[in-house]
């Protein structure tokens, strides 16, 4: 080490939170027991370790990922070194009553108890960030807001927000001006957040966590129309569900166009992450990684320069600003 090696950019996460995060983090959905097909715990732990060694500080999970297993693995990885991690989790989908169309968290007490369950699985006294995982207005929305405010007052969370692409829900969470964080799907294939939500967040000091920057792997450039996915992987619907298959084929056409845009020696995944990092409203982007190799590649993208004006213009010709498509899953 010479002391001159490039370092990841650190950005503030929202207004008045006092939290700074690397602009590339790690999303921890794809663990054993989740909807991403077979996975090994050691591979997930390796992904966390490689990310940490590369300088990544921000790790995002949820109570529903692997029915809590993702939180447990992150807790195991943090043991004895909690201070190295900025930890975000989400709550809302566990126990969701789809027939009645509302969450189980219909009182502040239940919501607080649910977050305390996450704290136990993570083996920590506090969360840096907690987010409502339900992505549209529903009867219990205000319970989440009141519960998060209570948790912050009690010192159990440092900041709170919502994970959604619904502009009305973003504004509802920020009605009192104290929502600090938004998590949103944003990528070259889905630029819809540029229309209203990202400008609103920038104007209101809301930190933006970007999920789906690689569009569930499509923007890694490794899939084709003839590919299949294993049992238990939700991406099988891209092949089997007619509407999703039509969109998948349109996405693959954009990917083909991108091949001429990506600089020599750079992967399409790295280019896709550079695109997201280049938006000034974005605080951090959280690509997933199933093992240390993928984690290392994601981390390397955090050291690359932002898009040049010429590269941005080339992307704009393929997918216009504010353009995009429906997200699966939402």
**Which of the pair, 101 or 76, is modelled with greater confidence?**
76
DSSP 8-state assignment for residue 99: T
* pLDDT at res. 3: 54
* pLDDT at res. 105: 94
What is the average pLDDT across 25-46?
81
| Residue 301 pLDDT > 50 | yes
Residue 80: strand, helix, or coil: coil
Residue whose C-alpha is closest to residue 24's, from 309, 290, 282: 282
Residue whose C-alpha is closest to residue 138's, from 87, 106, 102, 162: 102
| Residue 229 pLDDT > 70 | yes
Choice among 109-113, 221-225, 295-299 with the minimum mean pLDDT: 221-225
* pLDDT at res. 274: 97
Domain 10-215+276-306 sits in CATH at 3.20.20.100
| Residue 84 pLDDT > 80 | yes
* pLDDT at res. 330: 40
Q: How is residue 327 written in tokens?
A: 């997200």
245-286 residue pLDDT tens: 788 888 898 999 999 999 999 999 999 999 999 999 999 999
DSSP 8-state assignment for residue 36: B
Choice among 49-58, 159-168, 220-229, 277-286 with the minimum mean pLDDT: 220-229
Choice among 154-168, 223-237, 270-284 with the minimum mean pLDDT: 223-237
Q: CA Rg, the chain, in Å?
A: 19
What is the average pLDDT across 17-38?
83
pTM of the model: 0.92
Q: For residue 65, indicate whether it is catalytic.
A: yes
Note whether 44 and 290 are within 8 A (CB). yes
pLDDT band at 39 (very low <50, low <70, confident <90, very high): confident
Domain boundaries, the chain: 10-215+276-306
| Residue 329 pLDDT > 80 | no
Catalytic residue among 65, 105, 223, 248: 65
Distance, CA of 178 to CA of 246 (rounded, Å): 40
| Residue 321 pLDDT > 90 | yes
| Residue 326 pLDDT > 80 | no
What is the average pLDDT across 83-95?
95
Backbone angles phi, psi at 27, to 5 degrees: -90, 135
């Amino acid at each position: 080490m010479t002391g001159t090696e490039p370092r990841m950019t650190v950005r503030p996460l929202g207004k008045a939170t006092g939290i700074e995060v690397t602009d590339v983090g790690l999303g921890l959905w794809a663990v054993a027991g989740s909807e991403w097909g077979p996975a090994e715990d050691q591979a997930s732990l390796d992904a966390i370790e490689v990310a940490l060694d590369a300088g990544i500080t921000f790790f995002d999970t949820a109570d529903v990922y692997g029915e809590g297993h993702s939180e447990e693995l992150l807790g195991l990885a943090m043991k004895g070194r909690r201070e190295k991690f900025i930890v975000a989790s989400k709550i809302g989908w566990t126990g969701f009553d789809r027939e009645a169309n509302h969450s189980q968290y219909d009182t502040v007490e239940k919501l607080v108890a649910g977050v305390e369950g996450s704290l136990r699985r993570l083996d920590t006294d506090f969360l840096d960030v907690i987010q409502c995982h339900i992505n549209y207005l529903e009867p219990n929305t205000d319970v989440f807001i009141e519960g998060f405010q209570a948790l912050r007052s009690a010192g159990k969370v440092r900041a709170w927000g919502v994970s959604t692409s619904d502009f009305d829900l973003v504004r509802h969470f920020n009605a009192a001006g104290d929502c600090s964080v938004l998590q949103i799907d944003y990528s070259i294939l889905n630029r819809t957040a540029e229309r209203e939500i990202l400008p609103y967040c920038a104007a209101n000091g809301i930190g933006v966590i970007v999920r789906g920057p690689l569009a569930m792997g499509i923007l890694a450039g490794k899939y084709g129309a003839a590919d299949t996915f294993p049992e238990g992987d939700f991406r099988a619907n891209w092949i089997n569900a007619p509407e999703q298959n039509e969109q998948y084929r349109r996405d693959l056409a954009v990917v083909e166009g991108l091949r001429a845009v990506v600089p020599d020696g750079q992967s399409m995944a790295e280019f896709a992450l550079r695109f997201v990092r280049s938006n000034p409203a974005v605080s951090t982007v959280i690509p997933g990684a199933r093992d240390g190799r993928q984690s290392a590649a994601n981390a390397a993208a955090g050291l690359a320069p932002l898009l040049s004006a010429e590269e941005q213009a080339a992307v704009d010709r393929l997918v216009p600003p504010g353009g995009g498509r429906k997200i699966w899953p939402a």
